[in-house]
Amino acid sequence: MQENQKKTACQAGLCGDPIAGAAERAVRQIAGNTATGWLKIIALVFMFIDHAGKMLLPSLAWMRMLGRIAFPLYAWCLVVGFHYTRSAPKYILRVVLVGIISQPLYMIALNHTWREPNVFLTLALGLCALWGIREKKLLSQVWAPIAALALAVVLKCDYNWRGVALIILLYAAQDSRAAIAAVMTAFCLYWGSTSSTLSNFLGLDLAFLRSTEPFATLFSPWMKLQAMAILALPLMLIPMRKKMKMPWWLSYALYPAHLALLWLLEKLMGVR
């Protein structure tokens, strides 16, 4: 058992670290999939599908539907990364810097303004909330998450306060697969309740699921665009045996790179 735990910690890049002993103990406390290298790649693919559906192929609603998978995966990767990080301030700083560097591309590729920050500000605020909760200095476990949620609204962050709330809830549930599933189920149902209704998927008419009992009672709450974020849950819960160690700079560079590619495709296709 101890050998397996040590192997898991090494796969997470924790061997040889001065706090390796504490890190190994921490490995036993987090549930779900910790293969964040793979999860970041998968999240990026779904994010690109989402953005391509918005800017290049708006008639293909299924692309926006699949795109809902991306943010919960990024939120979970953030929770796992925070769990293992050696320095929360440096982690937050890296996320903020990537957000600043990516903002011009975000504006050009997705037709946003400076007043509409990209998702990395949402992630940075989520990290600040988690840092305050963990440190518990001067009641930071109370005011830090409240401040992060408020700033997400004031700064008009991507995903607004809901994005920060999901990060906080996943952090609270991180040591139990059942709790993670409960958080995602409740959150997606709530988020979906205020979003648009799905009419079809890949040409398949979904109307019968909303109008025929018992399907209507069971599936109607899930036939909402934002509720499709629940599709990320299996990826968050099911461990991957083979982990991929991705250089930290590459994991961050992929976000602005996908925006640059999207902008290039827009030019080639004559969009806008």
pLDDT in tens, 154-198: 999 999 999 999 999 999 999 999 999 999 999 999 999 888 888
pLDDT at 17 over 50: no
58 and 17: one domain?
no
The H or E element that residue 32 is part of is none
Provide the β-strand partners of residue 200: 205
Q: Where are the beta strands (DSSP E) in 87-166?
A: none
Side-chain-side CA neighbours of 206 within 13 Å: the count stands at 18
Residue from 89, 124, 116, 120 nearest 102 by CA: 120
pTM of the model: 0.85
87 and 205: one domain?
yes
pLDDT at 11 over 60: no
Backbone dihedral region of 111: left (phi > 0), alpha (psi from -120 to 50 degrees) or beta? left
95, 57, 61, 157: CA torsion to nearest 10: 30
Give the pLDDT confidence score for residue 272 in this predicted structure: 64
Percentage of the residues of the chain whose pLDDT score is greater than 90? 65
The domain total for the chain is: 2
What's the whole-number average pLDDT of the chain?
86
pLDDT tens profile 221-271: 888 899 999 999 999 999 988 778 878 788 889 999 999 999 999 888 877
Side-chain-side CA neighbours of 258 within 13 Å: the count stands at 18
Instruction: Tell me which of 22-31, 35-44, 115-124, 135-144 is least confident.
Output: 22-31
93 and 13: one domain?
no
pLDDT at 6 over 70: no
78 and 106: one domain?
yes
- Asked if residues 39 and 33 have their Cβ atoms less than 8 Å apart, the reply is yes
Q: How far is CA 47 from CA 53, 63, 208, 233, 256, in A?
A: 10, 9, 29, 16, 12
Give the pLDDT confidence score for residue 242 in this predicted structure: 79
6 and 133: one domain?
no
115 and 19: one domain?
no
22 and 145: one domain?
no
Side-chain-side CA neighbours of 152 within 13 Å: the count stands at 26
pLDDT tens profile 94-137: 999 999 999 999 999 998 999 999 999 999 999 999 999 999 99
- Asked if residues 108 and 131 have their Cβ atoms less than 8 Å apart, the reply is no
Instruction: Tell me which of 49-58, 164-173, 183-192, 211-220 is least confident.
Output: 211-220
Question: Domain range spanning residue 73?
Answer: 31-269
pLDDT tens profile 196-207: 888 777 667 777
50 and 178: one domain?
yes
pLDDT at 71 over 90: yes
23 and 100: one domain?
no
Give the pLDDT confidence score for residue 258 in this predicted structure: 94
189 and 127: one domain?
yes
6 and 134: one domain?
no
* Total number of residues shown for the chain: 272
**What b-and-e string marks burial along 96-135, b requiring 16 or more CB atoms within 10 Å of the CB?**
bebbeebbebbbebbeeeeebbbbbbbbbbbbbbbbbbee
Distance (Å, whole) CA 70 – CA 53 = 14
95 and 13: one domain?
no
Q: How confident is the model at residue 3 (pLDDT cuts 50, 70, 90)?
A: very low
Distance (Å, whole) CA 237 – CA 190 = 21
The token pair that represents 225 in the structure block: 């665009």
The H or E element that residue 178 is part of is helix 177-193
Strand 200-201 with 204-205, pairing: antiparallel
The token pair that represents 18 in the structure block: 């001065």
Distance (Å, whole) CA 77 – CA 222 = 24
Give the pLDDT confidence score for residue 1 in this predicted structure: 42
Give the pLDDT confidence score for residue 20 in this predicted structure: 37
